[in-house]
Structure 1
C-alpha cells in the first residue's frame, strides 16, 4: 500500500495513556493497511483531505509548557489562531504512519512524565499531612488519657454519692414505716381504748336516747364491734367483744323503752282527745276522729323519726333487725289499741243495716281505706320498711279479721247460689281486681284475708252447687205439665201464632225441660266464679245427671204419649244441652280414682287355709301387700258421653221412622232373601215343595200381594210421614237440624225402594209392575219426599 501524503491531524479524544494501547493500535493499523489496500480514487480523496486540513491549528494540548503548571487539569480545547508551527515539541512534519506513531509515543512519554510529576507533588503533600495528623493523634491520645483519668475519678465520686443517697433513702423509708406502724397501732388501739369512754358515757345518769351524743356514741360502738369481730386474732379481742355487746344491748334496750314510752304516750293522748271530743268511740271516717287518730299521732311522734331512721339504716345487722321488728310490733300494738274499737263498731253497723253483698262491698271498701291510711302513717315512721307487707301484718290482720268474723256465719247459712255468685264477683273483681291491685303495696296486707273470704265463698258455692245438682236435677220429680208433650209445645206454638209461625222461637226457656234449664243456668253462673278445676268437676257431674234425667223423662213421655214424642223430646233437649255447654272453655274429661279392696277377701282365705304366711314380708302375699288397696282409675268425658247418647237417640229415631214407613218392604225383602237361600242351597237333599216354587208364585209374593205391600208403603208415606215431619217441626225449631235428621230417613226409604225394585225387575214382568203392582219410580218418590221439608 502506498504511503499517504502527510496531513495535519484532526481533533481527537484524549490520547491513550498506556504504551500497550499504542502498540495495539500500531499493529492494528499495519494489519489494516496490509489487508485493505486503498484504491487510487481513495488515495486521491485522502490527499485532497490532507490539503484541506493542512492549515488547521495544532491542538492546544500538544503545545509545550502551555498547561503544565496545573496539577490534574484536563486537556483544553483547541483555540482559534494557534498554529501547529508554534509548538516547540513538534517541529517536524509527519510524512507517514511510522512518523505519526513515533510522534505519538514521544508525546505520550512527555505527558506521562508531566503526570508523574503532578502525582509526586500530591504524594509529597499527602505525606506532610499524614505527618501532621500523626502529631495531632499523639496529642489526642494524650488528651484522651487525661479524660479517662478524669472519668475514673468522677465515677468514684458518683458511686460514693449514690451510696450516700441510698443510705439516706433507706433511713427515710424506715422512718416512714415506723411512723405508719405507730399510726396503725394507734388507730387499732383506739377501738379498744373507746371501751372505757363509751362505757362511761352510757352509764352516765344524764345519758338517754334523746341526748344529742347518744346516736354518735351508738355509731362508734357499732364500729368498734365490727372491728373487733373482724380481727379475732388480737389479744383479748373476745373479752372486748363481750363488753361491747353488753353496751350495745343496753343501748338497744334504751331505744326500745324510749320507743314504747313514746308510742304509749301518743296513743294515750289521742284516746283522751277522742273521748274529750265525742264522749264515746266514733267511726273513723268522721272528720274529728280521723284528724286526731292520724294527724295528731303523726305530729306527736315526730321526735322518734331520727332514732327509727338510724335503726332502719342498720337493719342489715341481726341485732338491729331484731330491734326494728320489735319497734314494728310495738307500733302495731299501739295503733291496734287505738283504732280496734272504731273499726269493730263500724263493721258492726254495716252488719246490722246491709245485706250480705252490700256488707261485703262496704266492709271491704272501709278496710281498704283504713289500710291505706295506716300504711301512709307507717311509712312516715318506717320509710324503708313500708314495702314489706309483713311489717304491718300484726295491725292489718286483726282489723280485717273483724270483717271475716262477721261474714263467715252468714256465708255458712247462705243457700242462694245467685247471691254467692254475686259475692264471688264482688271479691274477685271489685276488691281484689280493682281496689287492692290498683292501690298496690298500701293495701297489700288485706289480700290474705280477702282471699280467705273468697275461698270460703267458693267452698260454700261449690257445696250449694252440688246440693242443687243433686236435689234440683238428679232427684227432680217432674210434674204432669213437664211431661205433657207434645201438647205443651202446641200450646206454646199457638200462643205465638198471631205474631209468629210455628218455626219461630216463641219462648225458648219455657219449652225446655226444667232439669235442663236448671243445669244450663247453674253452669253459666258458676263458670265465671269457680276455679277451672272445680268447675270442671261440677260441669261433669251436672251434665251427667242432666242427661240421665232427660233419658228418664224420655221414657215417661214415650209411655204417656208415644215413643216418637219421647225420642224427639230427648233429641231436642240433648241438642240444647250440647249447644249451651259449647262456649265453656274447659276440658270435660275427668279422671276418677277409687280404692279397690275386692282382692282382700281372697288373700284372707288363702292365709286362713295356710297357703301363705301372714308375716312373710319378702313375698308378694305379705300383710302389707294383702291389706294394700288397688287404685282404679276411670276417665269419663261428659261431652263425649252426651254426643254418644245424642247419636244413639237420633239413630233410634231414624230407624223407627224408617220402619214405620217401609216395614212391609223390609219384611218382603227378608222373605225373598230366605227363599233364595233355600233354593240355592246345594247341600239340601230335600227341598220343601212350597219353597221350591219361583218367587212370583210364592203366596207372599204374588203380584197382588206385592201391590198391597207397595200400597201400604205409599199410604204410610202420604199419611204417617207428614205427621212425623210435623212433629219434627214442633220439637225441632231449627230447619237445618230437621234437614240433617230427615236426610237419613229419606235415604233409607230410597234404598228400601231400590232393593224392592231390583227384586221386582228380576221376578216380574214390566206389565205386572206397571198395571198390577203400580210401582212408583225413583224420581217420583224422591220428588215426593222432597216436598216434606
Structure 2
C-alpha cells in the first residue's frame, strides 16, 4: 500500500481528532464498555495463530513482525510545545502505526503470494509430469498388448505344432495297419512258413488286429480292398491250421492202428484186452496233443469270431472223425461179444456201462486236446452218437421180438433207474452225450411194453376163456379155507390165490406198468384194463349164476371190491376226456334240404353256411373208476334184494296182495258199486285168513333161521373183511325188519286178539337180536 503524503496527514489528523473529540463528547463509553474493550484488546493480543497456518509461514511472519518492531519508526519521545507540534506528532505517529501495521501484513501477503506462485509452478510441473506419465502408461499398454498378442500367437503355434505332431503320429499308426499287408503277405507266402513255427501265432494275431481295424473304419479310402486282402490271408492261415491239425491227427491215428494190429497179432481174434485198449487207443493218441494244444488254445480264445469258431468246429469234426475210425470197431466188437454171451437185461446193463466208460475216456482225451471246449458236450456228439448207435443197433432187433412183460419192465428199470437217474447223474457231463441214445432206447422199450400190455389185455383178459376150475365157486374157496384151517395160519392166507385169473393178471400187469410207463400212457392203459377186467369178471359171474345166483353175485362183488381196492394206490386220474365230431345237425340240414323244407340260399351269409355245415366238437368223459363203482353198487343192490326176497318173500307177496285189495276197495267205493267181496274184511279174504297168515309167518321164520345162516356163511367165505360183510348185510337186515313191521302193523289193524295169537308173529326185537347175531 502507498504511504500518504505529508500534506494530507495534518488534515486527516485534524479530522480524526475532531471526530474523536466529538465522538467522546457525544457518545462517551461507560465503565463497563471500557472494561469490555480492554478485555477485547487483551484477548486479541493473546489470540494464537490458527492451526491450519503453515508453521514456517507463521515463523516467517513472526520474524517479519519482529523486524518491523526492531526498525519501528514510531517516535519514542517528543516534546510538544504547541498544538501544531502535537498534530504533527500525532500525524507521524498515526502514519507510523499504519505503516507499521500494513507493512507486516504486506510482507505476509508477499510471502503467501510467493508460496502461491511456487505452488503454481509445482502444479505446472506436476501437470507436465502427469502428461509424461500418461504418455508413458499409453506406451506401456501398447507394449503389453503387443507382448500378449505375441504370446498368444506363440501358444497357438505351439498347440498347432502339437496337433500336427499328434495327427502325424495317429496317421502313422493308422497307416501301419495298411502297411502291414505287404509284410504279412510276404511272410505267409514264404515257403519256410509253418504253423508249428514260433512266428505263426504272433503273425496271425497281427493279421486279426489289421482285419479288425480295417473293418471298423470303412470310411478310409480303399478299406474294403484291404479288408478283402486281409481276409484272404486269414483264410490261407486258417487253412494251414486245418491242414496241420489233420496231419497231426492222421499221424496219431496211424500209430494207433499199428498198435491195434500188433495187439491183435499178440492176442489173436479175441481183440484188444481192456488194458491194451486203454494203452493203445488213449495213451498213444494223447501224445499227439502236445503238438497242437497251444495252437488250439489260441483258436479257442478267439472263438467269439465267426472265422475262428468255424475252424474250431472243423478241428472238432476232424478229431471226432479220426477217433471214430479207431474206436467204433473196438466198441462194436466188445458189445457184440456181450450180445452173444449175455441175456437181454445183462446185455443192456453191461453195454451201457461199457459205453459210459468209453464216453468218460473220450471226454478226458478231448479235454486234453481242447480244454476250453470240453464243457460243451455237443462238440463230442459226432463221436459219441455213432458209438451209442452201435448199442442201439444191437439192442433194437432183440427189443422188437421181446414179448415178456416182466423182462421189458426190468429193462425200463435198468435204463431209467440205474442208467439215466443214477449213473448219468453221478458221472456228470463226461457221459452226457450218452443220454439221447439211452432215452431213445428207453422210448423203444416203453413202446414195445405198451404194445405187449395191450396185447396181453386183449388175449389174457378180454378174450380169456375160463376153465371149469376157474368157475368152480364156492368149492374153490372152500378148498382154500380148508387148507388154511389145516395150516392154522390165518395171516399167511394168499388172498390172490383164489382170484379169477383175468383179475390177477390185470393187477399184476398194472403193478408192473405203473413204474415203467409215463403217467399219460399208463393212465390210458389202466383205463382200458380196468374196463376190460370188469367185463371179464361180469361174464364169469353170469356163468356162475347159471349154477347159483348168490354165488355169482358174491363172486362179482368180491372181485370188484378187490379191483377197486388195488387200483386205489395208483396216483392217476382215471377220468379221460376225449373229443368227437358230431355231424347230427348236418344230417338234419341235409334232410330238410332234400325234402324241400330248406334251401342253400336261405342262409344269409357265407359264415352262417359254414357254421351250419361244420361238424360240432363234443367232449365226452370216461371214468373207469366211476364205472367200476356203479357196477359194484348195482351188483350189491341186486344181491341185497335177492337175499331179502329169499328171506321174506312170502311177506312181500302178502303185502303186495293186501295193497292190491285196498286199492280195489277204494276204487269200488269211489264208483258207488258195492259188492259182497268189497264188504269183506281183510281176514275174510282167502289169502289172508289167520291160518294162511300163520303159515306165511312160519315160512318166513323158517327161511330166516335156515337160509340166512347159509347166506352169512357164504358171505364170510367170499368176503374176508368183517366191515365189508357188515356194510353189505346191514340193508338186508333193514329190509327184513321193515317187512316184519309192516306185517305187524297190518295184523294189529285188521285182526282180532285171538287171530293174532293164531298167527304167532315173532317179536320184532327178537328178530332184530337174531339178525344182529348172524353177522
Fold agreement, TM-score > 0.5: yes
Structure 1 equivalent of residue 486 of structure 2: 498
Are 1:460 and 2:448 an aligned pair? yes
Match of 1:516 among 479, 490, 503: 503
Cα 1:358–1:778, aligned 2, differ >3 Å: closer, same or farther? same
Structure 2 equivalent of residue 656 of structure 1: 642
Cα 1:360–1:687, aligned 2, differ >3 Å: closer, same or farther? farther
State the alpha-carbon separation in 2 of the partners of residues 731 and 265 from structure 1.
80
State the alpha-carbon separation in 2 of the partners of residues 172 and 675 from structure 1.
139
After superposition, give the CA deviation of every residue in 1:617-649 in whole Å (9 maximum; x if it has no partner): 9758989997x7665543110000001100110
Contact 2:263 2:271 in 1 (8 A): no
Match of 1:738 among 705, 725, 729: 725
Shift of 1:233: 1.3
State the alpha-carbon separation in 2 of the partners of residues 155 and 386 from structure 1.
81
Shift of 1:274: 2.5
Contact 1:284 1:343 in 2 (8 A): no
1:765-780 matches, cutoff 5 A: 765-769=752-756, 771-780=757-766
Match of 2:458 among 462, 467, 470: 470
Shift of 1:312: 1.1
Structure 1 equivalent of residue 111 of structure 2: none
Match of 2:686 among 699, 707, 721: 699
Structure 1 equivalent of residue 324 of structure 2: 336
State the alpha-carbon separation in 2 of the partners of residues 251 and 205 from structure 1.
13
Contact 2:289 2:368 in 1 (8 A): no
Structure 1 equivalent of residue 175 of structure 2: 189
Q: Look up the SS of the partner of 2:469 in the other structure.
A: coil
Which segment is superposed worse, 390-399 or 671-680? 671-680
Are 1:437 and 2:409 an aligned pair? no
Structure 2 equivalent of residue 569 of structure 1: 555
Contact 1:665 1:752 in 2 (8 A): yes
Cα 1:633–1:285, aligned 2, differ >3 Å: closer, same or farther? farther
1:48-447 matches, cutoff 5 A: 160-279=146-265, 286-447=274-435
Q: Look up the SS of the partner of 2:415 in the other structure.
A: helix
Structure 2 equivalent of residue 727 of structure 1: 714
Contact 2:413 2:516 in 1 (8 A): yes
Shift of 1:290: 0.8
State the alpha-carbon separation in 1 of the partners of residues 208 and 604 from structure 2.
64
State the alpha-carbon separation in 1 of the partners of residues 659 and 600 from structure 2.
66
After superposition, give the CA deviation of every residue in 1:110-159 in whole Å (9 maximum; x if it has no partner): xxxxxxx9xx9999879999x9xxxxxx99xx999999979988776665
Structure 2 equivalent of residue 487 of structure 1: 475
Structure 2 equivalent of residue 756 of structure 1: 743
Contact 1:555 1:566 in 2 (8 A): yes
After superposition, give the CA deviation of every residue in 1:399-451 in whole Å (9 maximum; x if it has no partner): 11111010000000000000000000000011111111211211111111110
Shift of 1:164: 3.7
Cα 1:720–1:145, aligned 2, differ >3 Å: closer, same or farther? farther
Contact 2:461 2:505 in 1 (8 A): yes
State the alpha-carbon separation in 1 of the partners of residues 514 and 540 from structure 2.
27
Highest CA radius of gyration, 1 or 2? 2
Shift of 1:374: 0.2
Contact 2:184 2:207 in 1 (8 A): yes
Contact 2:405 2:449 in 1 (8 A): yes
Match of 2:661 among 666, 675, 680: 675
Q: Look up the SS of the partner of 1:496 in the other structure.
A: helix
Structure 2 equivalent of residue 711 of structure 1: 698
Shift of 1:709: 1.5
Shift of 1:285: 5.6
State the alpha-carbon separation in 2 of the partners of residues 689 and 454 from structure 1.
88
Structure 1 equivalent of residue 116 of structure 2: none
Cα RMSD (Å) of the superposition? 3.4
Cα 1:128–1:335, aligned 2, differ >3 Å: closer, same or farther? same
Looking at secondary structure, tell me which structure has more helix per residue.
2
Q: Tell me, which stretches of 5 or more residues in structure 2 are unaligned?
A: 1-42, 58-118
Shift of 1:270: 1.4
Q: Look up the SS of the partner of 1:785 in the other structure.
A: helix
Cα 1:124–1:476, aligned 2, differ >3 Å: closer, same or farther? farther
After superposition, give the CA deviation of every residue in 1:433-480 in whole Å (9 maximum; x if it has no partner): 111121121111111111010000000000000000000000000010
After superposition, give the CA deviation of every residue in 1:531-574 in whole Å (9 maximum; x if it has no partner): 000000100000000000000000000102x1000000000000
Structure 2 equivalent of residue 531 of structure 1: 518
State the alpha-carbon separation in 2 of the partners of residues 482 and 693 from structure 1.
57
Contact 2:577 2:619 in 1 (8 A): yes
State the alpha-carbon separation in 1 of the partners of residues 708 and 263 from structure 2.
90
Aligned residue pair count: 660
Contact 1:657 1:745 in 2 (8 A): yes
Q: Look up the SS of the partner of 2:525 in the other structure.
A: helix
State the alpha-carbon separation in 1 of the partners of residues 722 and 484 from structure 2.
18
